Amino acid sequence: MTKIKRKELGLSCMLNTEVGAVLAVIRRAPESNTQFYHSSEENYDSSILQSLKSLRGLIFNPQQQWRTIDPSVYLSPFLDVIQCDDVPAAATGVALSSILKILKFEIFDEKTPGARDAMNSAVTAITGCRLEKTDSVSEDAVMMRILQVLTAIMKHSTSVLLTDHSVCTIVNTCFQVVQQSASRGDLLQRSARYTMHELIQTIFSRLPDIEVRDWEDSESDTEDNNLYSGYGIRSTVDVFHFLCSLLNVMEVVETEGLTTQTADEDVQLFALVLINSAIELSGDSIGKHPKLLRMVQDDLFHHLIHYGTCSSPLVLSMICSTVLNIYHFLRRSIRLQLEAFYSFVLLRGTSSRIPIQLQEVAVEGIINFCRQPTFIMEVYVNYDCDPIFRNVFEEIGKLLCKHAFPTGGPLTSLQVQAFEGLAVIIHNIADNVDKEDDSSPSGPYTIEVSEYRPFWEEKSKENEDLETWVDYVRVRKAQKRKILIAGNHFNRDEKKGLEYLKISQLISDPPDPKAHAFFFRYTPRLDKTMIGDFLGDPDDFHIQVLKEFTETFEFSGMILDTALRTFLETFRLPGESQKIHRILEAFSEKFYDQQSSEIFVTKDSVFILCYSLIMLNTDQHNPQVKKKMTEEEFIRNNRAINGGNDLPREYLSELFHSISTSAITLFGQSNTPVGMNPNRWIQLIKRAKLMKPFIVCDFDRQLGRDMFAAIAGPSVATLAAIFEHTDDEEILHECIEGLFSIARITQYGLEDTLDELLATFCKFTTLLNPYASAEETLYAFSNDMKPRMATLAVFTIANSFKDSIRGGWRTIVECLLKLKRLKLLPQSVVEPDNASASSNDLQPHERSESGVIFPDPKSGNRRHNSGLIGRFSHFLSMETVEENLNLGVSEFEQNLKIIQQCQIGSIFNNSSSLPDDPLLNLGRSLIFAAAGKGQKFNTSVEEEETVGFCWDLILSIASANIHRFATFWPHYFEYLHGVSQFPLFSPIPFAEKAIGALMKFCLKLLASYRSDKLSEELIFKSINFMWKLEKEILDTCYQFLTQSVSKIIIEYPANLQTQLGWKSVLHLLSVTGRHPETYEQGVETLTMLMSDGVHISRTNYAYCIDCAFGFVALRNSPLERNMKIMDLMSGSVNLLVQWYRNSYSDPGSSVSVTSNNSSSSMEDNSKAFGFSNFTVNLFVKLGEALRKTSLARREELRNHAIMCLQKSFTLAEELYFTPTNIINCFNLVIFAMVDDLHEKMLEYSRRENAERETRSMEGTLKLSMELLTEVYLQYLKLISESSEFRTFWLGILRRMDTCMKADLGAYGESKLPNTIPDLLIKIIRRMKEKDILVPKEGDDLWEITYIQIQWIAPSLKEELFPDVEGRGWVELELVLDQKSALHLLTGFVTNSDLNLGRLKPGLAASVQAVSDSYNRITFDGRRLPKQKCLAELYFFTPLFGFLPLSAAWIPGVLLCGICTCYGYRKHDTGFMVRVIDESQASHGRKETTNPYNGMVE
């Protein structure tokens, strides 16, 4: 026998068994205990028995396979039994079991002929089963069997052949069993509910496979019945509609004799479970079927929102789950509905008036939504960034903050729950904003409304690229923000509000009425009265706005009172009748155009009836109206208003009852919350048809940052408050996690929030309490976990998110300094990453006195956001205090362990990656703290340690950022200058510690040679600024400074590139090297620099000379050292010559060689004398230094200085002086030296017991005169070419004369007269040899020399001028200015007097220095005092005789050279003026003397 035959035989046996079972039950004798009568077999319908017997006869003789036989053949007998009313329940149950067995054996399928009719017949028979003569026990069993069969039918493969009617019948029958089972056993009820659930799952699981029919696009609830679609969308729609209707099932409740109707909560829960299943199984396929979708949008959501506001916690929880499922699958189609659900259910369900249980459910519902990956982003984009929606996300965030904020005492379950929800939001934003693989732009973060864009128009995301769309969304959010601001202005002043709209580019210019209309329509919290007054204004523009405002409503399908209520909810009708007329006229026109029926024939009819309804509303609901209008009166008052005809009485009656029952109110007029009334729901559905779909989008970094910015303030405050009030470790851990997540977000343009967060949590460290002593702070820190957690959190953020910290550095630095004072910082605050050897004494990771190890400038910083929580988890899982005590760990060691975890050093070592702003803020905080800003020191030692620690940290930062020192240090210098201006600023120890740190950094900067001269100038500028604040620090830090500058000069001279650098280094070397302890090192350093000469340049030459002079000028310094330095100074002329040869001189150079040690500026001298050769300027600098040295107290030093000076002039011959240059060198160096030495000699001669010093100085003066002679002769030819040679030569003669007549007073005669004649002979003979001093026509040099020799050394006249007779007078003319000339008649006779000639009448007297040409000026034999060079003089005129010449008339420059350095004394006071009369002078130059005695003032 084949397998198929065996299977067929098996089916036959099965059918035979089932038939036999049914017949057996029918034939069974009645039970004795039954209360119902069972008839015998004869009494049954013969057709039932016959059909069963016929089936038995057919069973084993089938003509074909069972799968090809019409199922009705073997189903009908059983169905007849089920439908028969006389058959006992037992037989019905057996028949149902037989059908169930047949279905499970899958005897037929959808291809079997007659399967459709058989299945539908089976449904009809089973759902029509009547159990009228059955006991309750048997009935329950049969009903359970019916449920099983119906489930089997729906799950059978041929269920697709069922008609929609059959499916609906099955569902209806099953629900009837559910209802009937409520009063029966629990088993039947559970089975019925389970079956109902199975049916819904089966039906809706097929929805994705059902094709969309054309009739579904129609909004009508009817469709073409001729079009047979089988088991499909019709039944699905009907079943879903049925499930929605179950939400509105009411039950009658009697309480205290009163009968009320309330929603059947049990049925609602059951319906919600079924609806949830339907949505879960259907998925987004519901959206493909318009009718089903409209049912979800309208009926379902209306019920959910309505009952969500007034249901039990269990129902509300199920409603939230249902809406969450709808959001997941259908959110593109429920944009307005979702906003309404949040507005009227969840957000309102958390108000304080709601029972706490409902609040908890509402908060849980919000949290479940927020747990969806993209929910908060989509809500923000769809609602918060749309000006016509409310800020749903912002309200959610602030609501959670409000409920989570501690109110005192332990945290409640609601507070904990809200905090968890807030944490979910924060973590969600952080995880999506701070993605490592996110390549989206991080900025810019600010967005402005730069042009007018209609804010009510929305662009589709699909038409734009992502970046453009994000910018568009952010602009809309900015528009919305400005609209809310404009609304606040509008409520205070209408004009200001509208003007702000214009300024903010929210309305066009000229203004667009539509923009105003949308502003009034959708801006929340606007003053409704002001809106009504604006809309009722008669101005043309206001009328246009009213028309556009009315266009924002959709009245189609509404009756008049509903439309009027909807309209008047948005503003308050003004009191003026004309304004009311205009507003109602606009409304009437709009309603008339959109009416769905033809009730009104004209818009005037609508207008009149609107007035009538408003009057009726006042009549019915005004308590002052005692006699109320009746329905008949209302109908009678409105006769013939519809184009002369009456409106339908039923219509008017409906309006009357509607107004009487519920007054027309202004939306938000009272303080009571407004619910979702039918008017608002109708308007919402109509708006939903015009609204663009819900925008589905992923997270965007910029939008995520904007999202958190909206709730940043409350979030930080809530987080801090919970951390402060809770003691639960888990919640504390969640607070820290939230802290890190916020920090992750704030690094994208929310620096202010991070600063606020740090400032808040720094308070919890207990380190900022100004009133707590060190012991109290240490105790609190050691015995409470919160301060340690806060400290670890703060410094972890400072490490990981330092790029985003701005003002928060101040509090971090304050905490750090407090830890320093508490001695909780480890020995080395900054641990080196690797130990690297260096040739420098100061290693790249050098440890400072305060324990700071300075980083390698090459080491970088890489931000790590991962691992933060892991470190904190380790902290929270550390041993408890008891365990640590058992292990012998002290509290102090525990604290150190925690501080080590803070990794404070990496903040500064790895600061190289810091952007400019945080780097500047960090430095500013440290500088201000070092200056004492915000600090309170108990002892001077504590202050010194703190300031030093701050400067060590500044040095660490500068070292890590040496590559951009020139960028940030100018700002640091401004901070340094700023703190120095503080009223209570003390430069000690600030400047002392600063100069040490700055010098260390200077070494690092120069060690890493760079071509950036600006950095070098900045650091030396700062160093100079510090020691100028308090010059005493140069004496307190001299050893370190000497070592530092010596190191710079010896090891890094090539890296010093700037003039300021060399000037500062050499100045510091000169100043600090004067101390006995550092003298040897300073001199050795200078000697090495000048001996080598490689690193001496025209940039630093002048400063080298200054430094050398500084060491030479030291008292009691070793003579050998000084002589060596002077030898090096004179030898440096070779460098000048070399530079000159190599064309290094720059005639137009503006390089300044000024020196702090020089009494005159070379720059000033160059201006005064017109120097054009910079190299000569440097030589003069050298000469001046040696000239000053020639005045030293020790004779050996003076004499050696003169020798070095002579050597310098000898070497300088190759500098190729110009005549002007060499004369100027003489005037500034040699002449000045001779004059100074002569003055010094005379000074000593007047002292008592100073003969040795006088004779010593005389010997030096002798050497200087010999130097003068040698140098003069060396450069004689060059000097003689100068136009000033005559004056120069007379200057030499004058100084010879001075030395010849030197008066040593009590110490005897001078030895100089023994030397001067020989020098004169040598000079004059050489001049004669060079043909320089020879008689020439028109040149009086020979005559002047002859006369001067008579005065200086008469004995030489015959030897030098053997053939010349004496001359008495020489007339000189010296032009002083352009106005006048002074004729001076100089008489060189035996007394060599200077005689003042007559001045021209009427001209201002101007006596110029006749100066260096004369040894002295005498008036009647008495010398004019040097100190009183502006003494009152007299001159003679032919008309008036002697006239006084007041000193006040004489400029300060006059007479300046007459009496310079000639040893005149103050006791020489009387004088006579000898004047040559002009008339006599022209005739033989007869001398006339007129005596006049006067006193010098």
In angstroms, the first-to-last Cα distance of the chain is 161
Return d(Cα 794, Cα 796) in angstroms, integer.
5
576 carries an active-site annotation: yes
Structural contact between residues 998 and 1019, judged by C-beta atoms closer than 8 angstroms = yes
| Tokens matching residue 1231 | 């002449």
Q: Quick count: other Cβ atoms within 10 Å of Cβ 1044? A: 25
Contacts of 30 (CB under 8 A, 6+ apart): 37, 38
Specify the DSSP class assigned to residue 1374. E
| Tokens matching residue 165 | 């009617």
Q: Quick count: other Cβ atoms within 10 Å of Cβ 251? A: 12
List the helix and strand counts (H, then E) for the chain.
63, 9
Whose CA is closest to 1497, among 1422, 1447, 1435, 1453?
1447
> Residue with structure tokens 């026998």?
1
Q: Please, what's the b/e burial string for 1367-1376 (b: 16 or more CB within 10 A of its CB; e: otherwise)?
A: eebeeeeeee
Give the total residue count for the chain. 1497
**Residue type at 19?**
V
Structural contact between residues 993 and 930, judged by C-beta atoms closer than 8 angstroms = yes
Q: Quick count: other Cβ atoms within 10 Å of Cβ 264? A: 18
Alpha carbons within 13 A on the beta-carbon side of 1086: 37
Whose CA is closest to 157, among 223, 213, 90, 202?
202
| Tokens matching residue 398 | 């602030």
- Element of type H or E holding 1415: none
Return d(Cα 364, Cα 311) in angstroms, integer.
16
Structural contact between residues 133 and 36, judged by C-beta atoms closer than 8 angstroms = yes
Return d(Cα 354, Cα 399) in angstroms, integer.
14
Return d(Cα 464, Cα 1033) in angstroms, integer.
67
List Cα–Cα distances, 281 to 204, 329, 372, in angstroms: 6, 10, 19
Three-class DSSP labels, 1296-1312:
HHHHHCCCCHHHCCCCH
List Cα–Cα distances, 394 to 129, 390, 445, 1130, in angstroms: 58, 9, 18, 82
| Tokens matching residue 835 | 């130990």
How big is the chain by its Cα radius of gyration, in Å? 57
Return d(Cα 172, Cα 26) in angstroms, integer.
30
Structural contact between residues 477 and 386, judged by C-beta atoms closer than 8 angstroms = no
Task: Measure the CA dihedral 827/830/831/836, to 10°.
Answer: -120
Task: Tell whether the torsion through CA atoms of 457, 461, 467 and 473 is positive or negative.
Answer: positive
> Residue with structure tokens 């503003």?
571
| Tokens matching residue 533 | 């007054």
List Cα–Cα distances, 807 to 747, 754, 920, in angstroms: 14, 9, 10
Burial label, 981 (beta-carbon count in 10 A; 0-12, 13-18, 19+): exposed
The residue annotated as part of the active site, out of 41, 457, 576, 1080, is: 576
Q: Please, what's the b/e burial string for 524-556 (b: 16 or more CB within 10 A of its CB; e: otherwise)?
A: eebbbebbbbbbbbeeeebbbbbbbbbebbbbe
Known catalytic residues are: 576
